[in-house]
Amino acid sequence: MVKRIGIAIFLSFLFLVVNMPAFAALSKSSGYYAEGNVGVRDHRETALTGNVGYKLNSNFGIEGGIAVLAKTYFDIAAKAIMPLDRGFEVFGKAGVTQHVYFYGGLGLGYVFTPNISATAQGIVIAHDSGKYAGTLGLTYIF
């Protein structure tokens, strides 16, 4: 069931990305933001993440958040962003959790309006068993 939900979310995101390039916008170059994501962790269970942060400029930000991957992890990370054509941007995150485990992520964003974007990302927490997840979500820049 979780696998079907994950596939449906992915296909919905892909449909939006393919059919909306005419509505692409440029993201705000700086400001506070909040994002929420839902996805699948370790190919079996639901993953939830949420972050709040500050976008310093078009290419860098810093954020803090929570990831629920069977256990709850609080993290702080630096975010590097590379804007692409047609409303897309690629980003990477690197930081630590409250237990000093490495936290990292890579993703792709699509900017609908200067304030709202959709994201698809993969995250990993270097824990004894290695926690990872693939998520889809929305970001709002204030």
Q: Which residues are CB-contacts of 112 (< 8 A; sequence separation ≥ 6)? A: 20, 23, 24, 25, 87, 118
Q: How many Å apart are CA 34 and CA 134, to the nearest integer?
A: 18
Strand-pairing partners, residue 53, are 33, 63
Q: Evaluate if residue 56 carries a pLDDT over 90.
A: yes
pTM for the complete prediction? 0.78
The residue that leads in pLDDT, 94 or 10, is 94
Q: How many Å apart are CA 130 and CA 105, to the nearest integer?
A: 13
Strand-pairing partners, residue 91, are 81, 107
**Domains (range + CATH), the chain:** 2-141 (2.40.160.20)
Mean of the per-residue pLDDT values of the chain = 85
3-state SS of 31-82 is EEEEEEEEEEECCCEEEEEEEEEEECCCCEEEEEEEEEECEEEEEEEEEEEE
pLDDT tens profile 76-134: 999 999 999 888 999 999 999 998 899 999 999 999 888 999 999 999 988 767 788 99
Q: How many Å apart are CA 123 and CA 50, to the nearest integer?
A: 12
pLDDT at 26: 62
Question: CA neighbours within 13 Å on the CB side: how many for 45?
Answer: 9
Q: Evaluate if residue 5 carries a pLDDT over 80.
A: no
Q: Evaluate if residue 34 carries a pLDDT over 90.
A: yes
- Strands 60-69 and 116-125 turn out to be unpaired
